Amino acid sequence: MSSKVLPLSGFPELLPQERIVEQRFLDVVREVFELHGFSSVETRAVEPVERLLGKGGDADKEIYGVTRLAARSQERGGSDGELGLHFDLTVPFARYVLENAGKLDFPFKRYQIQKVWRGERPQEGRYREFTQADIDVVGAGELPAHYEAEMPLVIADVFERFPVGDFVIQVNDRKIPEGVYRGVGLDESVGVATVLRIVDKLDKIGADAVTEQLVAAGASPEQAAVCLALARIRTADLGFVEQVRALGVQHPVLDEGLEALAAVVRAGAEHAPGRIVADLRIARGLDYYTGTVYETQLLGFESWGSFCSGGRYDALASDGRTTYPGVGISIGVSRLLGLLVGKGLLTASRKTPAAVLVALVDEADRPRSTAVAAALRARGTACEVAPSAARFGKQIRYAERRGIPYVWFPGAARDTGGDEVKDIRTGEQVAADATTWECPAADRRPSVTRVEPAASTGA
């Protein structure tokens, strides 16, 4: 095969040791999602381009079209219509729900961990191919609000079980800004969506510019001041309710929003204390959110942006007769690990699942070493047999290079002719029987460690 190999910008690939970190993370994600009763779904990688184009703003710039090479000369796409790679997991899930509505039980809790593709210009932390891990609950016709409180608890559970470092999930309810804007009459002069869009730029352009743009759009300076005051409210407890009330604005939609967000924050305080804060600046750009919205930040890496976002939408999908409301949240797996693995903050203890290398006395003795390996595997210990009967020193280096902690020596005990196993980290070598030996729990699988930036000199 040809020798010209170049990495493709935006299509990251991991080395085996980095992949072990990703696998461990995805194991935790899946375990937590399943503990919370979410069912796994996988959708095909392609959707009709027509379906993809309708969603997500300027998505048309980002879509990868897919065409059979053999069909290009004749017609593009063929009988299936033109196809494109999905750019998120929400659009295909909405289609899956419509396609299988008669066979699914609602409310339907599903998780989906898959690659998605976007043809954007690659930059740090932004990829053209990346993995997302989504949960959504979707109802047929209606969806109780308590699921909006459950979503961030699931996410907090994931990040309590995997050493990403300190994180905070910021929540808001779209009805709160909407209620306030309507309460001060901005819905008639400027429009709720326009105000949301301008206030959403607060972090980027600052308060003065936001005020300027609001006024330019038709708001009074007093109205603009209320919008900014609202966006500055952030509390880890129910204090936000008082602070919003203190703005002196009245509107039934605002009342609804405050009650809904209070329920989310209350559940957070009980089940994930310190992890969930009300932040009334959070809006999420997408138009289809109608209730709670979520963003997640890693403390110390706020500039990296949210690596886990979502919200409530009243119309995930509709077939004209039934509307399917939903609430969902999506972990940007590649984005998060691109940061933590890329900066060396998460490392795996070895490059292979193998905990033991079974040494080889000579090639004719391979059946004995293979039998040892089979006995170890039967008891759940991952292992491999040395590739060749090289000097033991060389066999030990084979294990060292891969981070395999134990080397097994068949028949090494001079007195009994029994086996011995050596912990090559300590040098300790003891008698052992493959049919009874217990690999220490900490070594059974590669371990993943969070390295603090200051202490990054270790292994």
CA 284, distance to chain mean position in Å, is 17
Q: Verify binding: residue 51, its own copies, rule CB under 8 A.
A: yes
CB 332 within 8 A of CB 130: yes
Of positions 221, 320, 417, 458, contacts its own copies by CB under 8 A: 320
Residues 6+ apart with CB under 8 A from 213: 198, 201, 205
Of 137-166, which residues contact its own copies (CB under 8 A)? 144, 146-147, 157
Of positions 28, 29, 83, 168, contacts its own copies by CB under 8 A: 83
CB-nearer residue toward its own copies: 8 or 299:
8
How far apart are CB 350 and its own copies at their closest, in Å? 9
CB 129 within 8 A of CB 163: no
Residues 6+ apart with CB under 8 A from 1: none
Q: Verify binding: residue 281, its own copies, rule CB under 8 A.
A: no
Q: Verify binding: residue 19, its own copies, rule CB under 8 A.
A: yes
Q: Verify binding: residue 443, its own copies, rule CB under 8 A.
A: no
Rounded Cα distance, 358 and 360, in Å: 7
- The closest of 59, 75, 55 to 67, measured between CA atoms, is 75
Cα distances (angstroms) measured from residue 130 to each of 118, 272, 333 = 9, 28, 8
Of 120-139, which residues contact its own copies (CB under 8 A)? 129
Of 289-318, which residues contact its own copies (CB under 8 A)? 315-318
Is 243 within any annotated ligand binding site? Answer: no
Q: Verify binding: residue 319, its own copies, rule CB under 8 A.
A: yes
- The closest of 360, 289, 361, 359 to 328, measured between CA atoms, is 289
How far apart are CB 336 and its own copies at their closest, in Å? 16
CB-nearer residue toward its own copies: 277 or 354:
354
Of positions 29, 89, 110, 265, contacts its own copies by CB under 8 A: 110
Is 444 within any annotated ligand binding site? Answer: no
Of 211-270, which residues contact its own copies (CB under 8 A)? 267, 270
Give the range of 187-195, 218-226, 394-402, 421-429 binding its own copies by CB under 8 A: 394-402
Q: Verify binding: residue 380, its own copies, rule CB under 8 A.
A: yes
CB-nearer residue toward its own copies: 274 or 387:
387
Q: Verify binding: residue 387, its own copies, rule CB under 8 A.
A: yes
Residue 68: how many other CB atoms lie within 10 Å: 12
CB-nearer residue toward its own copies: 197 or 266:
266
Of positions 56, 62, 135, 308, contacts its own copies by CB under 8 A: 62
DSSP per position, 196-247: HHHHTTHHHHHHHHHHHHHHHTT--HHHHHHHHHHHT-EESSTHHHHHHHTT
Residues 6+ apart with CB under 8 A from 327: 136, 137, 143, 147, 148, 151, 291, 292, 310, 311, 312, 313
Tokens of 255: 């009342």
CB-nearer residue toward its own copies: 71 or 299:
71
Of 339-378, which residues contact its own copies (CB under 8 A)? 351-354, 366-367, 370, 374, 377
Question: Which residues are paired to 126 by β-bridges?
Answer: 123
Rounded Cα distance, 158 and 167, in Å: 11
CB 287 within 8 A of CB 107: no
Q: Verify binding: residue 447, its own copies, rule CB under 8 A.
A: no
Of positions 77, 115, 229, 234, contacts its own copies by CB under 8 A: 115
Of positions 25, 28, 29, 38, contacts its own copies by CB under 8 A: 38
Rounded Cα distance, 396 and 355, in Å: 13
* Element holding 276 (H helix, E strand): strand 276-279
Give the range of 79-87, 188-196, 235-243, 447-455 binding its own copies by CB under 8 A: 79-87
At position 366, the amino acid (one-letter code) is R
How far apart are CB 82 and its own copies at their closest, in Å? 9
Q: Verify binding: residue 94, its own copies, rule CB under 8 A.
A: yes
How far apart are CB 442 and its own copies at their closest, in Å? 17
Q: Verify binding: residue 401, its own copies, rule CB under 8 A.
A: yes
> Prior bond to 107 cis, omega within 30?
yes
Q: Verify binding: residue 44, its own copies, rule CB under 8 A.
A: yes
Which residues define the annotated binding site for L-histidine? 88-90, 118, 132, 136, 284, 288-289
